[in-house]
Amino acid sequence: MAVKAYILATTTAGKTAGALETLRAQPLVRSAVAVTGPYDVIISVEAEDLDAISRLVNDTIHRIDGIERTVTCLQWG
């Protein structure tokens, strides 16, 4: 069964558009949208297991130019 999560990200001023482009190119990312409020981007991801989501966040998303911080929220049900 696939694991789904929402990743809430803050970005550096002026770098949101570039970060979105890079995020949308990632194979596990189902959508990435800019939003207003305490976070700048909401990313929807789906993977085979929790380890794959962890690797995506730590090895890929955190290395994207403009991504400052993330909060990962697992989807249940």
- Domain map (residue ranges) of the chain: 3-74
pTM equals 0.95
pLDDT at position 20: 98
How crowded is residue 45: how many other Cβ atoms within 10 Å of its Cβ?
25
pLDDT tens-digit map of 18-66: 999 999 999 999 999 999 999 999 999 999 999 999 999 999 999 999 9
CATH fold of the domain at 3-74? Alpha-Beta Plaits (3.30.70)
pLDDT at position 21: 98
When pLDDT is cut at 50, 70 and 90, the band that residue 1 belongs to is confident
Spatial CA neighbour of 20 closest among 74, 66, 70: 66
